[in-house]
Structure 1
Amino acid sequence: MFEQAFKNIDDILHKDAGCTSELDYTEQSSWLLFLKYLDALEQDKALEAELEGKYYLYILDPEYRWGRWAAPKLDNGSIDHNSALTGDDLKRFVNDKLFPYLHGFKQKATGPDTIQYKIGEIFGEIQNRIQSGYNLREVLEIVDSLRFRSQTEKHELSHLYEAKIKNMGNAGRNGGEYYTPRPLIRAMIKVVNPQIGQRIYDGAVGSAGFLCEAFDFMSNQPNLTTSQQATLQKRTFYGKEKKSLAYVIAIMNMILHGIEAPNIIHTNTLAENLSDIQDKDRFDVVLANPPFGGKERKEVQQNFPIKTGETAFLFLQHFIKILKAGGRGAVVIKNTFLSNTDNASVSLRKLLLESCNLHTVLDCPGGTFLGAGVKTVVLFFEKGAPTHKVWYYQLDPGRNMGKTNPLNDADLAEFVELQQSKADSGKSWSVDVAAIDTATYDLSVKNPNGGEEVIHRSPQAIMDEIAALDAESAEVLANIRALL
């Protein structure tokens, strides 16, 4: 039911002049889903209060509650079309009254960790792009049919929402930066093995994939106490995000995974001076895939001891600094970081090796990140003691990666198993840091077991890839024609 509802929403938005890509569909679905979720949350809390003989103070005034403007109902539970706003009336209400009202919550909130603050932040960052009030009315009635009440319903919705985020990776406007393959994230979490009571952080949170997967990993532990569940909800997962759309998607993604008021801050992480980070600001675990290839301005670079315009290198300095002593990190970065000869790269490798135990490097094959041609590695490290030995694993799924054959959990099973003992194999080996040239601190992936075998795709795999690309091109052309 949910899957068909999501498809129907996208079909309507596809016809609307204000929505031109998968990114728009996801953004517009997000604010509508958020308000529907908020309504369900308020109803649940009001019922709980009533059962306890207490009074629940609603967050939203009556005029702005879902049941008044989005889905007024008759006694039989069906939409009251006589009182439901539609067309220009609906569009004017949403743009001129609803959004300004919701944005105002940011000033009224007691702090950034409250749901009120999230409401104000979200509706100050996005706008209603649906130009037709009639299209909006159709979408509202589909969203109204969705239910968030049970864990099963939330679980299914979260999977569908993740699928939408994944589809954005193939859309324009840098949609790919919002999506890290979930099998890779799950493998990183298994290696880091976060425990309840530890605080987990992603300073380049994107769609919050790392935090959502970490929540799933930790909340599935058996026999959790009420206190432990409260800790997971309120004092475990923290993130920062610079871009407005990613911020909104991160909040919605975490809510659908079961975290009511996510600790996500809308800010430019790199604008913070490293020297201002104090012990109280530090975290036990860092999980991240920071954006690479970006160029930061000189004034941003001044916040870091190692000056560089490369965004990912600044983030790596930030992550090392913000970890507690004994804290654990798993960070995706371009594989050229291991061998670049510029001063910043050499200095950063030296810093990493001297201040942290870089115990594991996972070398990912090309095609791991759909739509991104760069090769990446994952750095696993523990802060507080220098590195003596680095264990490398060269991931080789035995096939070329692409849209029709993406990374899966089975591809990473051997890595996760071998990493525990750091055993040598045809794909894994260890390097003593004492043998590394201290003039360059070169950490290149050099498999002593014969290097990387070139895997040639079968003709059928190539044909499948071409068919998938042709279908995508046809959709893009259809979108362009629809706009002409």
Structure 2
Amino acid sequence: MAGTTTQFVKRIRDIMRNDPGINGDAQRIEQLSWILFLKVYDDREQIWEIDQDDYESIIPEGMHWREWAEDNKDGKALTSDELLDFVNNKLLPTLKNITVTNETPISKAIVKDAFIDANNYMKNGVLLRQVVNVVNEVDFTDPKDRHLFGDIYESILKELQSAGSSGEFYTPRALTDFIAETLKPKLGQRIADLACGTGGFLVSALNILSKQVHSVEDRELYNKAVFGIEKKGQPYILAVTNLLLHDVDNPDIVHGNSLEKRVTEYTDKDKFDLIMMNPPFGGSELPIIKQNFPTDLQSSETADLFLTLIMYRIKDNGKVGVILPDGFLFGNDGAKLNIKKRMLKDFNLHTIIRLPGSIFSPYTSIATNILFFDKPGPTKETWFYCLDMPKGYKHFSKTRPMKLEHFDPVREWWNDRHEIQDEDGNYKSKAYTPEELAKNNYNFDLCGFPTETEEVLPPFELMDKYQKERKELNAKIDKQLSIIKQLLEEDN
């Protein structure tokens, strides 16, 4: 493969910036998503064709990457208006309308799923040909190229953080790796992310599992180890491609919404040994979605609903690592309060790691935490640990992201838990019993940072919240004024 990670990304970016149809980084990455998927899938198919004598592709004749994308420099490669016509009027419509049945293997069904929401934004066929040629330089059947492209792919995913709202689908690798190494996945376990975005948590788990593969049987367990669900089309394609790049032949990634099924309908076969995820913050679901949850656990906050979902989809003796905003920790509305009570009663909420700010910058400045819990419960004590910003850092950024070694203080403390106080007497680490948490009105905002936290709510709910708070504040002011007035009258 020619060039380096930086050069590859720069070449693609420079070409697409000249196309009048590409409006910003988000569209550029969406365009590149389906192009990369088709190239990666075609290279995987070449391997499957060698390994399986009777292999039949689900992609119709003439639509395979190798049949239209390769340029042999003989003047016969599609380009300009001819290429645009083929992509817009033949390739994309054909792949969107592939016939899939319940018997279709995941490895084939993902092709249709990947293209349901795919679009070609490029309007210049010559520039599109240039992009295709750059991608064509990568041979995914070559281990060296595939390893280098893993780095390229990670850099593309990082760009999602600065590509508008798409940033919500990318969790920094340091976070996914730390949670995965803490939960210690093993071959034979089923590992899930119920809002998997681009598949970062699943890949972190696979990187650990790959070192445990020593036989054909191990390879089969590896191929079936991870499961993900993603609601939106672009990150879904990226997640599937990510798993293909990590030698998962049948990526068990569902294009759908995890919250659309009643949680009480899940049976043991729907549960997992490990769940690790970073559910969407803020966001609002349709009222009908809330009805899929018990009345006392229905919330307007998407992250709350996902936490409840996790509690219904984790096996007995299963383990969870989930990232949640500060709003969950100190919130005490009905649903949050009931979720916390149930978690302490039915699960072992053993650790909450308070994370330093700006980890998800520039997508959001919301302060976040990692909750680690397992089943069965109940909780005996919950340790809080406040992870400081690394020395020399004022904040994290695209050029200075969080690194795995920044978790070293937590790693050292994890197996030697003890209280830690700073010079002002504030706790950096401390354990609390469920009874102590209950006396604190289930406010988990403990051993934390003295920062104001932003709570994300839909606009109308935010207006209602502020109006309610204003009424409460006005009532308090009126009460105090009345007391003062009464005191003044008594003095006279």
Partner of 2:56: 57
Alignment equivalent of 1:170, drawn from 142, 151, 162: 162
Which amino acid is the alignment partner of residue 303 of structure 1? N
Aligned letter for 1:229? R
Report the counterpart of residue 86 of structure 1 in structure 2: 79
- Correspondence 1:417 to 2:412: yes
Distance 2:314 2:63 in 1: 42
Within 1, Cα distance between the matches of 2:57 and 2:288?
Answer: 44
* 1:92 CA drift (Å): 1.1
The answer to whether the 8 A contact 1:105-1:116 is kept is no
Match of 2:46 among 36, 43, 46: 43
Pair 1:12–1:431, CA change in 2 (3 A) = same
Maintained 8 Å contact 2:92/2:118: no
> What is the CA-CA distance between 1:8 and the residue it aligns to?
1.2
1:194 pairs with 2:185: yes
Which amino acid letter does the alignment assign opposite residue 178 of structure 2? A
Say which one has the larger Rg: 2
Seen in structure 2, the aligned counterparts of structure 1 residues 137 and 207 have a Cα distance that, compared at 3 Å, is same
The offset of 1:123, in angstroms, is 1.3
Which of the residues 200, 204, 207 maps onto 1:213?
Answer: 204
Match of 1:366 among 338, 347, 357: 357
Pairing 1:122–2:114 present? yes
Structure 2 unaligned spans of 5+:
422-427, 452-492
Distance 1:238 1:276, change over 3 A: same
Match of 1:429 in 2: 430
Shift of 1:84: 1.3
- Supply the AA of the counterpart residue of 1:251: V
Work out whether residues 262 and 293 of structure 2, in 8 Å CA contact, stay in contact via their aligned partners in 1: yes
TM-score (norm 1): 0.86
Q: Which of 364, 369, 373 does residue 377 from structure 1 map onto? A: 369
Query: Would the alpha carbon gap of residues 55 and 315 (structure 1) be closer, same or farther in structure 2, given more than 3 Å must change?
Result: closer
Deviation at 1:421, TM superposition (A): 3.5
Matching of residues 454-465 of structure 1 within 5 Å: none
- Indicate how the Cα distance of structure 1 residues 58 and 242 shifts in structure 2: closer, same or farther if over 3 A, else same: closer
Q: Which amino acid aligns with 2:351?
A: T
Q: Residue by residue, what CA displacement relative to the aligned partner does 1:53-81 show, whole Å, maximum 9, x if unpaired?
A: x45434434422223211153xxxxx332
1:123-144 deviations in Å (ceiling 9; x for gaps): 1121111111111111111111
Q: Give the number of equivalent residue pairs.
A: 437
- Shift in Å, 1:107: 2.5
In the other structure, the counterpart of 1:27 is 30
Describe the SS at the equivalent of 1:64.
Answer: coil
Distance 1:2 1:405 in 2: 20
Instruction: Please tell me the root mean square deviation across aligned C-alpha atoms, in Å.
Output: 2.1
Deviation, 1:419, is 1.5
Q: Return the offset for 1:438.
A: 5.1
Matched, 1:238 2:239: no
Contact 2:71 2:133 in 1 (8 A): no
Q: Separation in 2 of the partners of 1:433 and 1:2?
A: 53
Q: Quote the offset at 1:411 in angstroms.
A: 1.0
Once superposed, which parts of structure 1, at least 4 consecutive aligned residues long, lie more than 4 Å away? none
Native 8 Å contact 1:154 1:258 kept in 2: no
* Segment of structure 1 superposing worse, 431-440 or 63-72: 431-440
Please identify, of 277-286 and 246-255, the stretch whose mean Cα deviation from structure 2 is larger: 246-255
CA distance in 1, matches of 2:443, 2:238: 38
**Uncovered stretches (5+) of structure 1, i.e. residues with no partner:** 74-78, 454-484
1:30 CA displacement: 1.9
* Equivalent residues of 2:348, 2:375 under 8 A apart: yes
Q: Which residue of 2 is the match for residue 476 of structure 1?
A: none
Give deviations 1:253-279, integer Å, cap 9, x for gaps: 222233233111011111111011111
Matching residue within 127, 146, 163 for 1:154: 146
Which whole-Å CA distance do the structure 1 matches of 2:225 and 2:379 have between them? 28
Q: Deviations over 1:283-323 (max 9, x none)?
A: 01110000111122221111111111100000000011100
1:62/1:271 Cα in 2 relative to 1: closer, same or farther (>3 Å)? closer
- Larger CA deviation: 97-106 vs 158-167: 97-106
State the match for 2:302 in structure 1.
Answer: 311
Q: How does 1:460-475 map to 2 (within 5 A)?
A: none
Give the share of equivalent positions with the same residue, in percent: 32
Match of 1:402 among 388, 396, 399: 396
TM-score, normalisation: structure 2: 0.84
Amino acid at match of 2:446: V
Q: Which of 226, 244, 252 is the equivalent residue of 2:241?
A: 252
> Structure 1 counterpart of 2:340, which letter?
R
1:442 aligned residue: 443
1:182 and 2:173 matched: yes
Q: Is the 8 A contact 2:386 2:447 kept in 1?
A: no
Letter in 2 for 1:205: C
Q: Is the 8 A contact 1:27 1:249 kept in 2?
A: no
Shift of residue 108, structure 1, vs aligned partner: 5.3
Deviation digits for residues 312-347 of structure 1 (CA, Å, limit 9, x no counterpart): 000000011100111100000012212112111111
Paired position in structure 2 for 1:336: 327
1:375 is displaced (CA, Å) by 0.3
Structure 1 contact 106–118 (Cα < 8 Å) conserved: no
Match of 2:286 in 1: 297
Secondary structure, counterpart of 2:84 in structure 1: helix
Q: Which residue of 1 aligns with 2:96?
A: 103
Aligned to 2:125: 133
Residue 479 of structure 1 corresponds to which residue in structure 2?
Answer: none
Provide the C-alpha distance between the structure 2 equivalents of 1:307 and 1:57, rounded to a whole number of angstroms: 46
